């Protein structure tokens, strides 16, 4: 009997314990549901939450934070004077049987370089005013609109018209050139402007989230000037106050400021004092890259330093991209590709690399078959039959390499 009573007591105790534990579980669930979304732990004051709860909170925080964007790089390509002598456009016309102009064979061997760059810039040395005047060569140039079509097909993004031939067809030629480019929305034109408002409208080209600003400047216009009452505008190299303001304005709008400038003296490798002074001033004002032209020969490639230590690539003159000039020195040029890298954590964009690819304008006797070769594809056999040997008998691969080595530091030469 006593044993039965003891068994009964154990049963009652176990039932009561089960009821108590079940109640505790229900209470805990109610408390948990009440505190969902409030940030409360449901623990007494001074009691810390379990470690697994803190770890869970940290995981949520990490999931909500934005990933840091990696640095991004773009390539900006520059070339020399696109100097279209009459023999060049006559050859282009003959390829079509007189029904238009085909300039593509001139540029075939460098087309991939232009297309592959993120942003490509060219100095168009001649007006493109074929709508109002026939094509013409030296000394007052004019090119057919098909030339502009070819530049667009090649992939040029920025066309600079700030040069000594921009007024070769007077104000009407300048207007016709700008009217033509207005039909090509894929490109930006610098160096020639419809009015003061247009001049103040800084051209911006963006690639991969990096904004580049472009300005065109010329030292001279061969003694030709716009009428005093003209609304059209050019930027002359002696307008230093204007240039400073434009560069600073461009710097406030973009990550990279690119200057296309026509300056210096023709057919000399010696830099003028004006070139050296203006180059350093423009760098100090905020220019990041300077593409120089006009001398028709390959001048010095260097890196200038801004007062804050920023490094800025400057090529004082590319020489001619293409021409029918009659000196061996005028046949040597190059393609400069500058790499700019943006650090999104600091919002700074800096010069990180550049490569110079030498090129040669080649033609036969009587300037036949004018075309551009990369130096890496050029041979002594080609040099031996170059039409320029009539004027420069020493023209050869060695002659070309001497020009390149005197102007381009080895570390920047592209090897291909």
35 domain residue, yes or no: no
12 domain residue, yes or no: no
Q: Phi, psi (5° rounding) for residue 285?
A: -80, -15
The predicted pLDDT at position 106 comes to 99
Query: Which contiguous run of DSSP H or E holds residue 111?
Result: helix 111-116
The predicted pLDDT at position 416 comes to 76
The residue range of the domain holding 186 is 72-412
Task: Report the CATH number at residue 123.
Answer: 3.60.21.10
Question: 266 vs 43, 108, 114, 225, 296, CA distance in Å?
Answer: 86, 28, 26, 20, 6
pTM for this predicted structure: 0.85
User: CA-CA distance, 357 to 359, in Å (whole number)?
Assistant: 7
* CB-CB neighbours of 270 under 10 Å: 10
47 domain residue, yes or no: no
Token pair, residue 304, equals: 């200038």
Of the candidates 372, 291, 354, which has an alpha carbon nearest to the alpha carbon of residue 109?
Answer: 372
33 domain residue, yes or no: no
350 domain residue, yes or no: yes
In three-state secondary structure terms, 398 is: helix
194 near 167, Cβ under 8 Å? no
7 domain residue, yes or no: no
18 domain residue, yes or no: no
Sequence-distant (6+) residues with CB within 8 A of 77 are 113, 114, 117, 119, 120, 121, 335, 336, 337, 338
pLDDT in tens, 16-63: 455 444 554 444 544 444 444 444 344 444 444 444 444 455 554 554
- In the chain, the number of structural domains is 1
Sequence-distant (6+) residues with CB within 8 A of 162 are 190, 191, 192, 216, 217, 218, 234, 235, 260, 261, 262
275 domain residue, yes or no: yes
Token pair, residue 271, equals: 């830099």
| Overall residue count recorded for the chain in this entry | 416
The predicted pLDDT at position 18 comes to 52
**Phi-psi region at 123: left, alpha or beta (left = phi > 0; alpha = psi -120 to 50):** beta
Residue ranges in the chain modelled with pLDDT below 70:
1-66
């Amino acid at each position: 009997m006593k044993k039965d009573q003891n068994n009964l007591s154990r049963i009652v105790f176990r039932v009561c314990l089960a009821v108590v534990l079940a109640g505790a579980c229900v209470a805990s669930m109610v408390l948990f549901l009440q505190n969902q979304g409030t940030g409360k732990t449901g623990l007494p004051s001074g009691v810390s939450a379990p470690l697994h709860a803190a770890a869970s909170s940290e995981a949520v925080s990490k999931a909500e934070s934005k990933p840091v964007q990696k640095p991004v790089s773009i390539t900006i390509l520059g070339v020399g004077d696109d100097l279209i002598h009459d023999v060049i456009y006559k050859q282009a016309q003959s390829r079509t049987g007189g029904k238009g102009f085909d300039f593509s064979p001139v540029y075939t061997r460098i087309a991939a370089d232009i297309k592959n760059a993120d942003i490509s810039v060219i100095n168009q040395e001649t007006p493109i005013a074929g709508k109002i005047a026939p094509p013409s060569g030296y000394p007052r140039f004019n090119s057919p609109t098909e030339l502009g079509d070819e530049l667009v097909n090649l992939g040029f993004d920025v066309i600079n018209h700030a040069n000594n031939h921009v007024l070769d067809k007077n104000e009407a030629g300048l207007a016709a050139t700008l009217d033509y480019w207005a039909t090509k929305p894929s490109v930006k034109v610098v160096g020639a402007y419809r009015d003061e408002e247009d001049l103040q409208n800084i051209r911006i080209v963006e690639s991969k989230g990096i904004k580049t600003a472009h300005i065109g400047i010329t030292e001279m216009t061969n003694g030709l000037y716009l009428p005093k009452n003209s609304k059209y505008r050019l930027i002359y190299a002696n307008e230093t106050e204007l240039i400073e303001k434009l560069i600073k304005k461009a710097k406030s709008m973009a990550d990279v400021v690119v200057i296309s400038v026509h300056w210096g003296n023709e057919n000399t490798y010696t830099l003028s004092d004006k070139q050296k002074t203006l180059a350093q001033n423009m760098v100090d004002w905020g220019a990041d890259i300077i593409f120089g032209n006009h001398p028709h020969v390959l001048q010095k490639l260097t890196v200038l330093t801004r007062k804050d230590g920023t490094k800025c690539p400057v090529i004082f003159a590319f020489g001619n991209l293409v021409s029918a000039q009659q000196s061996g020195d005028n046949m040597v040029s190059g393609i400069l590709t500058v790499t700019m890298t943006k650090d999104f954590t600091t919002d700074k964009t800096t010069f990180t690399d550049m490569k110079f690819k030498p090129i040669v304008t080649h033609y036969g006797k009587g300037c036949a078959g004018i075309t551009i070769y990369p130096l890496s594809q050029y041979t002594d056999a080609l040099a031996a039959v170059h039409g320029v040997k009539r004027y420069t008998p020493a023209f050869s691969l060695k002659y070309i390499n001497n020009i390149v080595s005197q102007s381009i530091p080895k570390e920047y030469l592209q090897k291909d």
